[in-house]
């Protein structure tokens, strides 16, 4: 009798799990607990934070697009059009902050005549952006940033916000996409040119590095990063546990001046690459004509495994994990099945979501 009762409980648990996994949108929240609470307790659903005073577009409103490490303004080609935003902005500007000093200077370069390379301190890039804004007749600006671009803008706000206000420049919205706001070893290891690159890529691929990166970061010191791993200075600055991140806070606040600025982070999550392997195997079940029970059982295992990794927050966009992209005090979103690069080329619905955030429709 006791055995039968246990079996009944186990079967009931499996059935409830299957129903839950079927009706719950995987990309809604960060963990299985979040999803349970979302469905069970509607009153605790966190509304999107907006400042008390509504903002409006207009003739003086501008959107600044800020690219990431070792990139250029071209990554924002799909966002660099005022028509996308229903003419909410007077101008949309994709800046550039890399120039070697010898090749033709890129459009909207923020360093005046001073070259900026991968060895330039990120703080100097933030300062260059400050000078660019002051000299370009901006009044009200929003920022849409990718990867290290979010770090550049955070440095701008933490160090020059009051100066900008005194110059009549107001910052309304800051959206960072795939920005390692808490640092990332994966970014450094994947982009380095050291002899261990193949091994470290493998560790990142299987998410092993992301699980133990805090421990590794505490053991490695700067000269190891620079000389043994052969990383450029900017990658050293944005590594996990880097003291540089303390300069991106105002009195310990990661999202300063949030009475006036709406801070938003968006992270990608691939749900560990070997999920694709399991999905491939699931397709093979059909080819080899496994019976429905065997196929269904493997699909259930796949979904349970997927939810386990969501709950453990082990997903990543290939370079930056969601937990590294989050900011305390910001509205933090996670887009499943997006890589670090594909955050810039999302589906129409996701792109419209960002546009709505920027144009204050939500």
pLDDT at 281: 43
pLDDT at 339: 85
Stated pTM of the model: 0.72
CB 237 within 8 A of CB 181: no
- Tell whether the torsion through CA atoms of 148, 187, 113 and 161 is positive or negative: positive
What DSSP string describes 189-227? HHH--STTHHHHHHHHHTTHHHHHHHHHHHH--HHIIII
Q: Distance between alpha carbon 34 and the CA centroid of its chain, in Å?
A: 19
Q: How many Å is the Cα radius of gyration of the chain?
A: 23
Q: Virtual CA dihedral for 251, 252, 257, 259, nearest 10 degrees?
A: -110
Domains and CATH numbers, the chain: 2-46+273-311 (no CATH), 61-180+258-267+331-358 (3.40.50.1820)
CB 319 within 8 A of CB 186: yes
Per residue of the chain (362 residues), give pLDDT as tens. Answer: 555 665 666 566 666 655 544 444 333 334 444 444 444 433 333 334 444 344 555 568 999 999 999 999 999 999 998 889 988 999 999 999 999 999 999 999 999 899 999 999 999 999 999 999 999 989 999 999 999 999 999 999 999 999 999 999 999 999 999 999 998 866 655 554 445 545 555 455 445 555 555 455 444 544 444 444 557 889 889 987 788 999 999 999 999 999 999 999 999 987 644 444 444 444 444 433 444 445 555 555 555 655 565 555 556 787 888 888 999 999 999 998 888 899 999 999 999 999 999 998 87
Helix (H, G, I), strand (E, B) or coil at 97: coil
Provide the terminal-to-terminal Cα distance of the chain, rounded to the nearest Å: 56
Give the other-Cβ count within 10 Å of 90's Cβ. 16
Please choose, from the candidates 55, 6, 23, 70, the residue with its C-alpha nearest in 3D space to the C-alpha of residue 235. Answer: 70
Q: What is the largest CA-CA distance in the chain?
A: 83
Separation between Cα atoms, residue 109 and residue 287, nearest integer Å: 54
Separation between Cα atoms, residue 296 and residue 298, nearest integer Å: 5
Q: CA dist 311 to 34, 276, 319, Å?
A: 9, 19, 19
Burial of 20 (0-12, 13-18, 19+ CB in 10 A): middle
pLDDT at 47: 39
Separation between Cα atoms, residue 201 and residue 203, nearest integer Å: 5
CB 294 within 8 A of CB 159: no
Token pair 């009944």 in the structure block, residue: 8
pLDDT at 96: 98
Separation between Cα atoms, residue 56 and residue 58, nearest integer Å: 7
358 sits in which H/E element: helix 348-358
Q: CA dist 192 to 64, 195, 201, 225, 232, Å?
A: 29, 9, 10, 9, 8
pLDDT at 94: 97
The residues with which 333 forms a beta bridge, in sequence order, are: 266
């Amino acid at each position: 009798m006791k055995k039968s009762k246990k079996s009944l409980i186990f079967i009931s648990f499996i059935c409830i799990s299957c129903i839950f996994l079927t009706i719950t949108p995987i990309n809604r929240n960060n963990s299985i607990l979040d999803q349970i609470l979302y469905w069970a307790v509607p009153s605790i659903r966190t509304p999107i934070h907006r400042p008390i005073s509504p903002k409006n577009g207009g003739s003086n409103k501008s959107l600044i697009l800020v690219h990431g490490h070792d990139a250029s303004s071209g990554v924002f080609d799909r966002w660099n059009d005022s028509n996308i935003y229903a003419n909410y902005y007077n101008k949309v500007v994709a800046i550039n902050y890399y120039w070697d000093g010898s090749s033709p200077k890129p459009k909207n370069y923020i360093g005046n005549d001073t070259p900026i390379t991968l060895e330039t301190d990120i703080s100097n890039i933030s300062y260059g952006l400050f000078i660019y804004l002051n000299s370009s007749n901006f009044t009200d600006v929003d920022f849409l940033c990718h990867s290290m671009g979010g770090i550049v803008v955070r440095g701008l706000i933490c160090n020059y916000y009051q100066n900008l206000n005194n110059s009549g420049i107001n910052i309304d919205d800051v959206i960072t996409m795939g920005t390692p706001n808490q640092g990332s070893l994966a970014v450094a290891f994947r982009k380095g040119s050291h002899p261990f690159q193949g091994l470290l890529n493998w560790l990142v691929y299987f998410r092993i590095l992301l699980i133990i990166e805090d421990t590794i970061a505490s053991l490695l010191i700067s000269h190891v990063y620079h000389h043994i791993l052969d990383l450029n200075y900017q990658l050293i600055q944005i590594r996990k546990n880097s003291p540089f991140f303390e300069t991106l806070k105002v009195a310990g606040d990661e999202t300063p001046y949030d009475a006036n600025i709406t801070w938003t982070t968006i992270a990608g999550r691939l749900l560990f690459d070997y999920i694709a392997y399991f999905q491939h195997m699931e397709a093979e079940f059909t080819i080899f004509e496994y019976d429905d029970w065997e196929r269904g059982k493997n699909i259930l295992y796949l979904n349970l495994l997927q939810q386990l990794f969501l709950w453990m927050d082990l997903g990543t966009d290939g370079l930056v994990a969601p937990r590294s992209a989050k900011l305390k005090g910001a509205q933090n979103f996670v887009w499943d099945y997006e890589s670090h690069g594909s955050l810039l080329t999302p589906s129409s619905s996701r792109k419209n979501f960002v546009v709505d955030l920027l144009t204050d429709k939500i």
